[in-house]
Structures are given as structure tokens and as C-alpha cells.
């Protein structure tokens, strides 16, 4: 039986690295597409380079979702059986500052890949996974499922919604096996340090190790459905193994506030946080010594935010036999343990 080839955009990101690990273990050859950078940006996949058995089946390519000819050339030369489009400008707050680039990479980048599949006549050969996001729901009814109306509230979410409908259209118009994975927040030790979950765990560890006294956050009351990235990448693979292409919500079904995430992180190092004040004056205080460890900075507020995201992944459980394995508390603990070991 010949080895399957998977092409992953955004391979150096959190999801790309976890998916690469999974597919290599399953016997795939993995084509990893990464952007050229003047600084090293391969930390999350360095362990693959250092493993002789795995590295021979991992082939990195330089690529960019804003470059049509580059995408076409990579797909033409590698002839992948599966494409996982995980590359994106994925920071919601940043998308308000660079909306045009966000649209170019996140919306049109998806179109460029699907067009390449169509132009190369790979419809019957290549299956396509689009990394969608719960942000496309915006402020809608809870919990959100595959039938919930979309109401995106950021340039990032709007771009991802264009990509979602483009994926559906190419599936229906050109008979491409193309699916959307509508993944709710998924975190882990490999999460980028500017994302709120990892920002919290790193800051808490630094406070615990007396490297700083406080850190700042934006909307403490925003509720999210927090899952484990390692659990969620398995659902991507399962979607492309299904008999028919379809779109799936991937979530835990439980939501917790940013404030609760902070409390759990501090709890891991035996610090109890109590909250004092209201609005912009609200602070997180160490109950044992009265020190302020958490403050609010309006710079982190989004022009338009989403109050709560909580998914209903019944369809994925029913059709893909997928379900989350990691609880909210376990997730925070894993991230805290990793940062405790990493930060000296």
C-alpha cells in the first residue's frame, strides 16, 4: 500500500505541528508549507527534524497563501491526497488593524487553493480541509451548531466566513471533497504567546517565579468553549475519512470566562485570586498577600466583541465518532506545567 501524501499550510503553527505529528504516526508523507522568515520560526516542529525516522517523511516548502502561482506550483509538484489549510492571519484583534491582509490570506488564500485543485483537475484525487472558526458565529444563539446563523464581528471572522462559503461552493459546483471544520477555541502548550490563553499561563508562571508582579488583559467576561488542540486535530483527519464531505462543529460543549481561565491558572500554583472593583477598575488580587496580579487595559478591547461561544458537536460525535478527551482543568494544567518547565 502506497504512502499517502498530506499537504499542510501553516505547518509551523500550533495546529499544523500537532497535525503533522498525528499524520506522521499514521504513516503519511507530510508536505509542510511555511512562510519565509528572517528569524527562526520552526520551534514547534524542530522535534520532527531531529527524529531521523520522521524527518525522512516530512518535506518543508516555502509558500504563502497570498501567492497564487506559488500555491499552484506546490500542489502540482507534490500531488497531495489531502490538503489541510491551516495557514492564516489568525489573530482576531490584529485583524482590525490589518483587515486587507487578513482578507487576502484568510479569504482569498482558501480560494487560491481550491482553484488550484480545480485547474489541475485534482477533484477526484485531492481532499480538502478548511480550518474554519467559531468566530464566524458572532453573537448568536447558544449553543452554536452547523445550522446556527452566522454573524461575524471582526475582519478575521468575515474573512473566514468567505472561506467557509467558498469551500461549500467548490464542493457543490466542482464535486471536490471539501469540508469545513468549525473549531471552537483550542489551546495547548504550543499556543502562540500573544493568544490570551498562553498569555495568561506564561504571565502566571512569571509571577509565581517572581519575574513580574502583574499582567494586563482586555475583556475578562468573554466566555469561550476551550478545548485541546491535540484532541481537535484528530477531528480534521476524521473529516477527510468520512464517506461524504460535510461541515462539522468541533467543541467541548462547555464555556468558561477569561476570568475563570485566570483563576484556574493561578490555582495550579496555589494562588487564590479574588476580584475587586468594577469595569476598567476591576483587578485580580492575591488573596494571601493583597498584591494586584491582574489589571484591565482597554487597548486589548476589540471594537466589536463576541460575548459567548459554546459549541454543540453532536454531529461530529454521531458521524465521526469524535469527542473531546481533555477537560478545561486538564487543559490549563497542561499549559501551566509546560510553561513552568520552559520559563526559568
* Annotated active-site residue in 82, 135, 187, 263: 135
* Residue 133 known to be catalytic: yes
> How far apart (Å, rounded) are the C-alpha atoms in residues 126 and 330?
36
- Contact of 279 with 264, CB cutoff 8 Å: no
* Residue 135 known to be catalytic: yes
Phi-psi region of 210 (alpha: psi -120 to 50; beta: other; left: phi over 0): left
* Annotated active-site residue in 18, 28, 84, 156: 156
Q: What 3-state DSSP class applies to 271?
A: coil
> How far apart (Å, rounded) are the C-alpha atoms in residues 48 and 30?
11
* Annotated active-site residue in 12, 20, 133, 167: 133
Radius of gyration of the chain (CA): 20
**Nearest partner of 136 among 309, 318, 339, judged by Cα:** 309
Determine whether 35 is exposed, middle or buried from the number of CB atoms within 10 Å of its CB (0-12, 13-18, 19+): middle
* Residue 156 known to be catalytic: yes
Helices within the chain (DSSP H only):
14-25, 46-49, 52-55, 68-78, 92-95, 99-102, 108-119, 155-174, 196-208, 229-239, 258-268, 314-319, 328-342
Task: Tell me which residues are annotated as active site.
Answer: 133, 135, 156
Amino acid at each position: 500500500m502506497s504512502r499517502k501524501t498530506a499537504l499542510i499550510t501553516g505547518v509551523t503553527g500550533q495546529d499544523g505541528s500537532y497535525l503533522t505529528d498525528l499524520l506522521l504516526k499514521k504513516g503519511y508523507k507530510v508536505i509542510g508549507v511555511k512562510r519565509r522568515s528572517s528569524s527562526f520560526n520552526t520551534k514547534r516542529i524542530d522535534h520532527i527534524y531531529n527524529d531521523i525516522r520522521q524527518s525522512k517523511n516530512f518535506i518543508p516548502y516555502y509558500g504563502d497563501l497570498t501567492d497564487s502561482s506559488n500555491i499552484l506550483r506546490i500542489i502540482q509538484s507534490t500531488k497531495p491526497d489531502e490538503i489541510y489549510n491551516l495557514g492564516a492571519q489568525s489573530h482576531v484583534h490584529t485583524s482590525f488593524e490589518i483587515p486587507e491582509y487578513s482578507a487576502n490570506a484568510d479569504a482569498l488564500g482558501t480560494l487560491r487553493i481550491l482553484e488550484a485543485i480545480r485547474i489541475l483537475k485534482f477533484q477526484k484525487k485531492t481532499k480538502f480541509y478548511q480550518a474554519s472558526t467559531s468566530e464566524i458565529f458572532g453573537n448568536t444563539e447558544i449553543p452554536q451548531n452547523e445550522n446556527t446563523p452566522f454573524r461575524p464581528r471582526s475582519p478575521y471572522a468575515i474573512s473566514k466566513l468567505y472561506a467557509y462559503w467558498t469551500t461549500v461552493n467548490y464542493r457543490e459546483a466542482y464535486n471536490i471533497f471539501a469540508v469545513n471544520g468549525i473549531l471552537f477555541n483550542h489551546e495547548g502548550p504550543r499556543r502562540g504567546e500573544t493568544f490570551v490563553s498562553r498569555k495568561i499561563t506564561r504571565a502566571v508562571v512569571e509571577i509565581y517565579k517572581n519575574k513580574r508582579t502583574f499582567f494586563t488583559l482586555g475583556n475578562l467576561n468573554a466566555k469561550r468553549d476551550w478545548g485541546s488542540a491535540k484532541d481537535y486535530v484528530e477531528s480534521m483527519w476524521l473529516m477527510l475519512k468520512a464517506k461524504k464531505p460535510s461541515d462539522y462543529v468541533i467543541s467541548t460543549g462547555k464555556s468558561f470566562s477569561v476570568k475563570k481561565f485566570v483563576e484556574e491558572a493561578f490555582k495550579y500554583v496555589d494562588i487564590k485570586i479574588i476580584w475587586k472593583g468594577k469595569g476598567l477598575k476591576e483587578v485580580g488580587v492575591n488573596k494571601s498577600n493583597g498584591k494586584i496580579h491582574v489589571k484591565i487595559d482597554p487597548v486589548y478591547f476589540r471594537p466589536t466583541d463576541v460575548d459567548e461561544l459554546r459549541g454543540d458537536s453532536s454531529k461530529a460525535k454521531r458521524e465521526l465518532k469524535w469527542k473531546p478527551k481533555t477537560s478545561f482543568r486538564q487543559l490549563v494544567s497542561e499549559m501551566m506545567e509546560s510553561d513552568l518547565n520552559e520559563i526559568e
